[in-house]
Amino acid sequence: MTTIIRNGTIVTADLTYRADVLIDNGIITAIGPNLTGDTTLDATGCYIMPGGIDPHTHLEMPFMGTYSADDFESGTRAALSGGTTMVVDFALPSPGQGLLDALQMWHNKTGRAHCDYSFHMAVTWWGEQVFDEMKSVVDQGITSFKHFMAYKGALMVNDDEMYHSFSRCADLGALAMVHAENGDVVAELTARLLAEGNTGPEAHAYSRPPQVEGEATNRAIMIADMAGVPLYVVHTSCEEAHEAIRRARQQGKRVWGEPLIQHLTLDETEYFHPDWDHAARRVMSPPFRSKAHQDSLWAGLQSGSLSVVATDHCAFTTAQKRNGVGNFSKIPNGTGGLEDRMPMLWTYGVNTGRLTMNEFVAVTSTNIAKILNCYPKKGAVLVGADADLVVWDPEKTKTISASAQQSAIDYNVFEGKTVKGLPRYTLTRGRVAVADGVVQPGEGHGQFVAREARPAVNRALSAWKEITAPRAVARTGVPATGV
C-alpha cells in the first residue's frame, strides 16, 4: 500500500518547492509532480515538512521523589498531535547503577510508544564500570551522554567526573551534553532563601539566577574544549549562557545551544502569580527569565548561534507539584510542552517574522537530526528518508487548553494562548497518526532509533587535537643530570 501527499508545498531546512511525495512501506520513495498512489492525502494550502524531533524529553522519569506523569504512551501521543514524530529521552542511572542496567529499564518503558524515539545516556556518577559501559552504550546506538551540573546530592557530577566522562566521549566519538547550572551555588542560595522565609515558588527562580547558568555554561565549554569533545548545552535560557555559546562558536568550538519553547514564550512574571498552583506548575530549571533574555534567545535562533528548539517535557500534575507547599525546593522541577512546541514556535516565530519557514524546519527537526547523527533517516524530506512528515496547515487555529490536550497532566502552561499553524496530518513512518487534528492512536508503532558514533565533527576535533597536542622538544646537547 502506497500513500501519496498531493497539492502541497515542500518546506525543508533549505528549500521551498511544490511537489508530491510518495510513501511506500514507511519510506519516502519518490518526490515530484503528478505522482500516484493507493491512498491520497490532500495538502492543498499546506506545507509538507519533516516531522518535528524533540531531543529533550523526560517520560516517566523518576525525579524528586516521584515520576513525571507522561509516559511513552501519552507523551508520544501528545508529540504526534503537535507534529513531532520523534522524541529523544534520557536514560538515567541512579547513583551506583550501571549504564546498561539503566538502559534496559528505559527500553522497558517504551512498549506503547506511538512514534519513534531514541535515548541519550546520563552520566550521574563516575567509576570504572561507567567508563567501560560507555562503550557498550555507544555500540547499542546511544551516542550522546548528558551531565547534570546541578541537582547537588542527586544527579550532579563534579568537574573531575565531567572531564573524565567528556574525554571518554571524545574517544568513543560521542557527543557530550550538559545541564549547565552551578549546583553548588544553587544549593547555597536555596538554603539561604529558605532560612529567610522565602518558601514560595518564586524563590525557585531567585535560587537560580542567570549567573549560575552562565558560569556553568562557560565551564562546560572550557572542559569540553580541553577534552576535545563536541558539546550540546540543553535548555539555554539566558543571555549569559547564550553569550558563552555564541563566543565559543565564534572561536570555532563545536558547541550547540538548545532554547526551550517555554523560555522563548513565557517569562518570569509567571512566578509572581498570586495563585500558588499557577506559579508552582511553572517551576522548572532553569526558570523562566525576563523579556530581555527571551529577546536574546530569539536572536540566537535567527543568527544561528542557537540551533535547536526543544521542550524538556517533564510534566508533573498539580498534586505532585504540591509536594513543595511550604518549601519551594521540593516542588518537582519540570513543565510540559511536547504537544505545543511546533504550533507555538510557528505562531510566535514564523507568524511574527522572527523565523523563516526554513529556519523553523531547521530548529525543530533538521539541525538536531544532524547533531545526533540520524540525518537524513530523520529530519529530511528526501527519497530514502523515513516518512516522518507533518502536513502543516498555516491557517488552522486553536486556543490551547488542558481540557483538549493529550498529555496526562491537569493543566497546560500555555493555557489560553491562540496558535495559528497546526498539523492537518502527521505521519510516523508513513502511518497517518493525526488526520484533521484528530489523533489516530497506534500504540507500539514507535521504534528505537539507533545512532552511529564518529560523526564528522568528532573526527575533525580529534584530528585537530592530535596535530596540536603538546609534544616534548627534541634537543641536542642536553646537560648531564646534576652537573
Ligand X SMILES: NC(=O)NCCC(=O)O
Residues in contact with ligand X by the rule CB under 6 A: 58, 179, 284-285, 312, 314, 333-334
Site string for Zn ion, 310-349 (x = CB under 5 A): --x-------------------------------------
Q: Are 310 and 363 in contact, with CB atoms under 8 Å apart?
A: no
Residue closer to ligand X, measured from CB, 58 or 417: 58
Task: Count the residues of the shown chain that bind Zn ion, applying the rule CB under 5 A.
Answer: 2
CB of 284 to ligand X, least distance (A): 4
Residue closer to Zn ion, measured from CB, 55 or 379: 55
Residue closer to Zn ion, measured from CB, 116 or 312: 312
Residue closer to ligand X, measured from CB, 51 or 334: 334
Residue closer to Zn ion, measured from CB, 65 or 252: 65
Site string for Zn ion, 294-313 (x = CB under 5 A): ------------------x-
Q: Grid coordinates representing 66?
A: 516521584
CB of 264 to Zn ion, least distance (A): 16
Calpha distance 30→384 (Å, rounded): 8
Residue environment code for 284-304, b if the CB has 16+ CB neighbours within 10 A, otherwise e: bbbbbbeeebbebbbebbeee
Site for Zn ion in 179-238 (CB under 5 A): 179
Calpha distance 119→215 (Å, rounded): 27
* CA neighbor of 190 nearest in space, from 322, 330, 66: 330
CB of 181 to Zn ion, least distance (A): 8
Strands of the 47-50 sheet, one edge to the other: 16-18, 9-11, 47-50, 389-399, 418-428, 431-435, 438-439
CB of 259 to ligand X, least distance (A): 13
CB of 437 to ligand X, least distance (A): 29
- Residue 333's binding partner among Zn ion, ligand X, none (Cβ under 5 to 8 angstroms by kind) is ligand X
Residue closer to ligand X, measured from CB, 7 or 323: 323
Q: Are 159 and 223 in contact, with CB atoms under 8 Å apart?
A: yes
354 φψ region: left (φ > 0), alpha (ψ -120 to 50), beta (else): alpha
**Closest residue (Cβ) to ligand X?**
333
The contacts of residue 334 (CB under 8 Å, 6+ apart) are 58, 61, 63, 68, 283, 284, 312, 313, 314, 315, 316
CB of 120 to Zn ion, least distance (A): 10
Query: How many CB atoms are closer than 10 A to CB 378?
Result: 24
Check residue 60 for interaction with Zn ion (CB under 5 A). no
257 φψ region: left (φ > 0), alpha (ψ -120 to 50), beta (else): beta
Strand pairing class (438-439; 431-435): antiparallel
Which runs of E-coded beta strand occur in 102-240?
Answer: 116-122, 144-148, 175-179, 231-233
Calpha distance 285→145 (Å, rounded): 19
Most distant pair of Cα atoms in the chain: their distance? 90
- Residue 207's binding partner among Zn ion, ligand X, none (Cβ under 5 to 8 angstroms by kind) is none
Residue closer to Zn ion, measured from CB, 67 or 131: 67
Calpha distance 200→264 (Å, rounded): 24
- Residue 258's binding partner among ligand X, Zn ion, none (Cβ under 5 to 8 angstroms by kind) is none
- Residue 4's binding partner among ligand X, Zn ion, none (Cβ under 5 to 8 angstroms by kind) is none
Handedness of CA 94, 75, 406, 412 (dihedral sign): positive
CB of 407 to Zn ion, least distance (A): 16
Calpha distance 162→444 (Å, rounded): 36
Site for Zn ion in 167-186 (CB under 5 A): 179
Residue closer to Zn ion, measured from CB, 92 or 380: 92
Site for Zn ion in 414-453 (CB under 5 A): none
Residue closer to ligand X, measured from CB, 41 or 79: 79
Residue closer to ligand X, measured from CB, 37 or 334: 334
- Residue 284's binding partner among ligand X, Zn ion, none (Cβ under 5 to 8 angstroms by kind) is ligand X
341 φψ region: left (φ > 0), alpha (ψ -120 to 50), beta (else): alpha
- Residue 218's binding partner among ligand X, Zn ion, none (Cβ under 5 to 8 angstroms by kind) is none
- Residue 334's binding partner among ligand X, Zn ion, none (Cβ under 5 to 8 angstroms by kind) is ligand X
Pseudo-torsion of CA 190, 193, 195, 199, nearest 10°? Answer: -100
CB of 173 to ligand X, least distance (A): 25
Calpha distance 299→293 (Å, rounded): 10
CB of 123 to ligand X, least distance (A): 14
CB of 287 to Zn ion, least distance (A): 12
- Report the interface residues with Zn ion, using CB under 5 A: 179, 312
